[in-house]
Every structure is written in structure tokens, then in C-alpha cells.
Structure 1
Amino acid sequence: MEKETGYNINFAQALVAGGIAGTSVDVILYPLDTIKTRLQSKSGFYSSGGFRGIYSGLTSVIIGSAPGASAFFVTYEYFKKSLGTLFPDTKYSSLIHMTAASSVPNHTHRKYVEPWEAAICGSFAGGITAGVTTPLDVIKTRLMLSTKDQNIHNYSGITNTFYRILTQEGAYEKVKKTLYKHEIFA
């Protein structure tokens, strides 16, 4: 009798299960990340909020976490199923799981992808991921370090924090102030 090695789930099931799993992990670990961030703050742990509001900024993490985890698990299930068809012997199951978990989303009709093609696809996917998640991570960090005792750095909610970073602290403002301060191109 052959042992059942996993469930044969469809796209929607992998999408929902991945989103729930990723979000659950982030919700559970979020307070530890907040405490770690506050311990690393230049103004000190208690000045940055101490143990108060350790879930501040969680919404921005959930917005980024659920889609990312869903995409990972959909890709994982797809490659696991495809590799399982190519290598049906159970002695390959560990290799199949490891390969599926480390696969880059690179859907192609070819049986072989050149290493340089995988590298380009991985770089492209990583760039997109960083572009989407970095702003959310900045918002999360600002909300983690925000306290009601600070008038200047008190952020309230994702929209408020995003708007303030964009209008008051964005790259344009930083470059403009630096050029003006150092009289560059004056």
C-alpha cells in the first residue's frame, strides 16, 4: 500500500491556503518584529513605544503578505504537481518538494530553461517584489516606531503614513534639500 504524500489541491485552494498561511505567520510574529525594530531604534526602546501598540502597522503587512504567500504556494503546488508527474517514484519526493519550493515563477512551454533565463526571470521577479513590498515595509516600520508622545513622528494608519512619506519625506524632497544645502547646480 502506497502512503499518501500530499493533497491534490487546485489553483483556488492553493491561493487561499497560501494567503491564510502567510498571513497567519505574519500576524503571530509581528509583535516580535515590532519589539526588535524598537530595540534597534536610535531613540531607544521605551521612547519608540516600548510594549505599547505592538500591532501598529499590521494592516500594511497583511496587504503585502497575503498576495506574496499566495503566489508562492500556487507556484509551489504547480511545480510539485508537474515534477511529481515526471518523477512518480516516491524516492524522489524530497527532491521534488525542495525543487518546487525554490522554483522561480517562469511559465514556459519548453521542457528546459537555460540558467541565464532563470537568472533574468528571478532578477525581474525580485525587482518587482522589492518594488511592491519596500514601500509597505517602510510604512510598517514608521507605524511600529510611532508613538502618541511624539508630535513630529506620530503616524496614524496606512493612508496617513503613505501620504506623509510621499509629500514630506519622499526621495524628491530629500534630493531637493541636499542640492540646495550643498549649493549643487546653484
Structure 2
Amino acid sequence: MSGERKPLPFAVTFAAGAIAGISEILTFYPLDVVKTRMQLATGKTSMGLVGSFQTIIREEGFGRLYRGLVPPLLMEAPKRATKFAANDFWGKTFKKMAGEDTMTQNLSIVTGCSAGATESFVVVPFELVKIRLQDKSSTFAGPLDVVRQIVRNNGLLGLYAGMEATLWRHVWWNGGYFGSIHQVKALMPKTESQSGELFNNFLSGSIGGFIGTAINTPFDVVKSRIQGTAKVPGVTPKYNWTYPALATIFREEGPAALYKGFVPKVLRLAPGGGVLLLVVEFASDVFRKALGPPYI
């Protein structure tokens, strides 16, 4: 493919990100349910991945592994589209500011962090509803019931509970993901075939997903704790701001607690990151061929 091809229009980048996001979540959603359950469990001991799966299926039925699926499905299209569109926007902006013609490792990290911060504003309400539905003690009838009760009890701004923690979660994941993808791709041998290019994208995306997950899991644990606890008027929540909450969990439950849910999370986001990048690149290639020159 020529390096001179014209960048795809925003609408096309948006569509490719949406297709990729929906593909990823339909494939890996049960792992997200298990991850949330493990993160919401307080104390120094918790069930492992297999034990959590077995307990949910035995006590609540197989269908519980897909409870709360609607909010992520509604979220994934704008979330993933925003992620890649923002990454494209910030990448061009930072390259121009730095006077660079090509993306460097440092620019990739800064770009990823900025894209993550942008993305977080889109996902917070959906994440909040999802967490409330995934909780074992949840008695909500469905997504709309969650929204109604939150708005009634806390107002519209109640839908943005955990905004600060979500921002940090996405900043660190995107920084690790996009930053490492750039480095991994630079180290991989060049390939002339489309299948080889797709494999490279899957492998680099999987490595990026693993690194992003390793960096951001403590922030995800805090986000789940903040969003999983309903606010009581006049009572200061135990988990409120990100970094103090990290210190509280570390002190009360030990350092391992900051990585609760890491295994199901990385099992989802490492291959999920590969699937995400693979589908984005594949969809983008299809769109390029459909649009023809100068996009090919």
C-alpha cells in the first residue's frame, strides 16, 4: 500500500471503530462480568477465574454472564469510534506541534493518553449502568430502571459518578495500548501479504492490550468500587477519589487487591485488543477499496 494515500474521512474512521468495538464485546463479554464481580468483592481473599464462572453459573444461571450487555453494546460504537477518531485527531495535532512528519514512541503515548481522556467522557454513564447490573446483589429490572433510579436519587449528574476514576483508567490504558503498538509494529518484520499484515495487527494489538491492562487494572478496580456503591445523602463514600481509594485498598486488602479481576480482564483485553485492531484495519481496508483512489 502506498504511503501517500489520503487519510480516511472521519465518518469512515467512526464506522470502522464501531464495527470493531461491537465485534470485540460480543466475543468477550462474560469475562467482563466475572472481572467486575471479582473487583467488587472486598477482603483479602477472592475466587479465581474458574471459581467465579462456576459460582455464577451454578447460583444464578448461564444467562447471568450476559447481564448488563445492553449498555456496553450501546456504548461500544461511540466509545471505540471516539477512541480511534480522537487518536487520529490528537496524533495529527501533536505531530504538528512537535514538528514531526511521522509518529514517534513518545508522541504515541501522549496521543493515546489524550484519546483515552477524550473517550472517558463518552463511556461513564454506560459503565455506571453496566456495573450496577453486573453486581451480584443487583435488583434492577434493566438498564432503564438503573437510569431512572439514579436520576431520581442523584439527578442527571449522578450518571457521571466515577468520572474521575474512569478518566484515569482510560488515560493509562490507551497510553499503554497505543504506545506499545507503535513500538511492537516497528520491531516486527515487514510483510507484503494481507494475511501477514492482519497477523501483525492482531499480535501487536494483543501485546498492546496486555500492557494497557497491566498498567490500568488498579484504576479499574477503583472505578468499579466507586460506581458499584450507591451514594447515600450526607454520607461520605468510602471510595470517592481515585488515588486516595488506591491507598485505602492497598492498606486494607494488600497490593494484590489492586489487581483483582486482572486475569479475566487481560484474557478479554489482550486478545480483544488484537481483535479490535484487526477488525479496524480490515474494515478500514474494505472502506478504502470501496472509496477508491486516493484512499487506497
Per-residue deviation, 1:38? 2.5
Aligned pairs, number? 147
For 1:71 and 1:149, how far apart are their aligned partners in 2?
A: 38
Select the structure of larger CA radius of gyration.
1
Matches within 5 A, 1:19-168: 19-41=113-135, 42=138, 44=140, 45=146, 46=149, 52-83=157-188, 86-89=189-192, 91=194, 92-103=196-207, 129=214, 133-134=217-218, 136-144=219-227, 145-149=229-233, 151=235, 153=237, 156-158=240-242, 161=245
Per-residue deviation, 1:14? 0.4
1:21–1:69 contact (8 Å) kept in structure 2: yes
For 2:111 and 2:208, how far apart are their aligned partners in 1?
A: 20
Per-residue deviation, 1:36? 1.8
Q: Residue 199 of structure 2 aligns to which amino acid in structure 1?
A: L
Q: Which structure has the highest helix share of the two? A: 2
For 1:88 and 1:166, how far apart are their aligned partners in 2?
A: 46
* CA RMSD after TM alignment: 3.9
Q: Residue 26 of structure 1 aligns to which amino acid in structure 2?
A: S
Per-residue deviation, 1:78? 1.3
Give the SS at the match of 1:28: helix
Give the SS at the match of 1:9: coil
Query: Unpaired runs of 5+ in structure 2?
Result: 8-100, 141-145, 255-296
Matches within 5 A, 1:175-186: none
User: What is aligned with 2:109?
Assistant: 15
| Superposed CA offset, 1:106-141 (max 9, x none) | xxxxxxxxxxxxxxxx7xx69x927x623x334323
Q: Sequence identity, in percent?
A: 18
For 1:141 and 1:103, how far apart are their aligned partners in 2?
A: 24
